Amino acid sequence: MIGRAEALAELEHRVGHAFADRDLLDQALTHASVGERYPAAGHNERLEFLGDRVLNLVIAEELVRRMPKADEGELSRIFHQLVNYQACAVVARAAGVPDALRLGGGASKAGMRESERVLGDACEALIAALYLDAGLDAARGFILRLWADLLSEPDAAQNPKTQLQEWALAQGRPLPEYRVLQQTGSAHDPRFVVEVAVHGYPPVSAEARSKREAEKLAAEQLLRSQKGTL
């Protein structure tokens, strides 16, 4: 694992915000398992409480904007798919939270650095830290950017693109990169050839009637090609 200072710098880069209050960032990424070892930093449970409320507001606001004809039941169903700890854990991994987490020794050995519950809580604490350091617009920008795939497809936690992203990060690689190699056909019957590349592995391409579907197929094929390493 990379050093924590380097991990914090990488996280700020992915989040797109340099914290003015470094102690706030440190607290957001400090788990309660550290006990009294880092009393100056404190742990992240209070920030988690606040971040959960900020996340709920931003996602609810965005769903109402995107789905003007949806009733309360439909909005609630999708809302709960987007703000649960599994969704937060997906975002936490994309932001680089696992390497930046400060855990107690026993917790780290017990594998809590990859626990979806721990990562989900840390993601909410990070949202609160952004909100307190730079305001609601900064927190909203982070949420809408990192939740983009999940907002497009609320079941994206099971999406091959999300699975490939998590696998790439677990291998210590940058996020997968997608590019359209070819677009053919008419407006009523388009075809897209999309390539996905993960640094250090051969790129894979796939064809479908939409860019999004081609991306999913390419991601699935790349995951399959590396199944021996998963």
Q: Do 129 and 179 sit in the same domain of this protein?
A: no
The 190-197 sheet, strands edge to edge:
177-185, 190-197, 204-208
Domain that includes residue 172, residue range: 165-225
Q: Any idea what the CATH number is for the domain that residue 172 is in?
A: 3.30.160.20
**CB contact set of 26 (below 8 Å; sequence gap of 6+):** 8, 41, 102
71: helix, strand or coil: coil
Q: Do 220 and 135 sit in the same domain of this protein?
A: no
48 tagged catalytic: no
Q: What is the pLDDT of residues 101-152, one digit of tens each?
A: 998 876 665 677 888 889 999 999 999 999 999 999 999 999 999 998 888 8
In tens digits, what is the pLDDT along the chain, a chain of 230 residues? 568 889 999 999 999 999 999 999 999 999 988 866 655 557 899 999 999 999 999 999 999 999 999 899 889 888 988 998 888 988 998 899 999 999 887 666 567 788 888 999 999 999 999 999 999 999 999 999 999 888 887 655 557 887 787 788 777 788 888 999 999 888 778 899 999 999 899 999 999 988 888 998 999 999 888 765 44
124 tagged catalytic: yes
Burial class (CB in 10 A: 0-12, 13-18, 19+), 41: middle
Could you tell me if residue 150 is inside a domain?
A: yes
Domain final residue pick, 156, 190, 210: 156
The single residue of 26, 52, 133, 195 carrying the catalytic annotation is 52
Could you tell me if residue 124 is inside a domain?
A: yes
**Looking at the 3D structure of the chain, how many domains does it have?**
2
Could you tell me if residue 170 is inside a domain?
A: yes
Q: Do 120 and 93 sit in the same domain of this protein?
A: yes
The single residue of 26, 99, 124, 215 carrying the catalytic annotation is 124
Q: Do 142 and 29 sit in the same domain of this protein?
A: yes
Could you tell me if residue 230 is inside a domain?
A: no
Could you tell me if residue 56 is inside a domain?
A: yes
The pair of structure tokens assigned to 223 is: 């995951």
